[in-house]
Amino acid sequence: MQLNLFPMPYYNTLGFDRELIDYIDIVDDSIRADRGMVFQTYTLFPWLTVQKNVEFGLKIKGLDPASRRETSRHYIELVGLAGFENALPKALSGGMKQRVAIARALANGPQMLLMDEPFGALDAQTRAVMQDLLLAVWEKERTTVLFITHDIDAVLLADNVYVMSRRPGRIRTRIEVDIPRPRDHRVTVSPRFTAIKKEIMEMLLKYLEKQSCPLHVGPVPNLTSCLLQQNCIILILDLLNN
């Protein structure tokens, strides 16, 4: 899916405050570095070790070797890969590769972490482990996360869920996940989590049956303020466009 991160005069557009992002200047590293990205596919440099992968952005920014090493080792430890600093990506499992990708993104100190179906290629057990890892990392870093997924169980991660319609994808509704933090997968058997999941599924089934439910009208409520001020996890749930 394509997500518009620029202020646009259209409804159902997700946009940052113009003061934060007005344009992308490919020369200015400070503008690029305020967003980290974790993709669905594995995007590590295969010829670099875990530590060198995590240090890559820091090296581009001009940090000295000692600072790069200190920062990279902090985030490698944070994602549970201490001891694998000198391993090459070919020696890592899929979950470990995505841990490195998360560490590499966070090492640059982004204001926002963009995650595009980052656990989609993982098996169910590894996905659950990675979701718990992301929750634990978020509790320590408090970086705003925008997480796009087709997985309804990822509601576990979110403070707010924005549910999309069929193509052309539009925001249909916003659901607040009012489950206390900190969380882990034990939350998924709680009555409140089950109720939220049921609400989303019933809404989607109704939409599929009628194909005539009105789209959300007007700007997406409170998204900008949540992204910029609350340091929350936003889930874009795209269940209808697999």
* Tens-digit pLDDT profile for residues 76-89: 999 999 999 999 99
Position 34 scores a pLDDT of 78
For residue 10, is pLDDT > 50?
no
Distance CA 68, CA 55 (A): 6
| Distances 219 to 12, 94, 95, 98, 104 between C-alpha atoms, Å | 5, 37, 36, 33, 33
Instruction: Give the mean model confidence (pLDDT) for residues 121-139.
Output: 93
Q: What are phi and psi of 13, to 5 degrees?
A: -105, 130
Q: Is the pTM value of this prediction over 0.85?
A: no
Secondary structure percentages of the chain, helix, strand, coil, to 5: 45, 15, 45
Mean pLDDT of the chain: 80
For 156-178, write each residue's pLDDT tens digit: 999 999 888 777 777 878 899 99
**103's tokens:** 């560490």
Position 240 scores a pLDDT of 58
pLDDT band at 28 (very low <50, low <70, confident <90, very high): very low
Q: Cis (ω within 30 of 0) for the bond into 65?
A: no
The percentage of the chain sitting over the pLDDT mark of 90, rounded to a whole number, equals 53
The percentage of the chain sitting over the pLDDT mark of 70, rounded to a whole number, equals 76
Distance CA 37, CA 111 (A): 11
- CB under 8 Å to 74, separation ≥6 — which residues? none
Position 111 scores a pLDDT of 86
**98's tokens:** 């995505």
Pairwise pLDDT comparison (32 vs 79), residue with the higher score: 79
Q: Which of 36-45, 67-76, 211-220 has the lowest mean pLDDT?
A: 211-220
DSSP-assigned letter for residue 173? E
Residue type, position 202, single letter: E
**What's the first-to-final CA gap in the chain, in angstroms?**
10
For residue 19, is pLDDT > 60?
no
Position 140 scores a pLDDT of 93
pLDDT band at 230 (very low <50, low <70, confident <90, very high): low
Nearest residue to 58 via CA among 44, 72, 41, 39 = 72
Instruction: Give the mean model confidence (pLDDT) for residues 55-63.
Output: 93
**165's tokens:** 């319609």
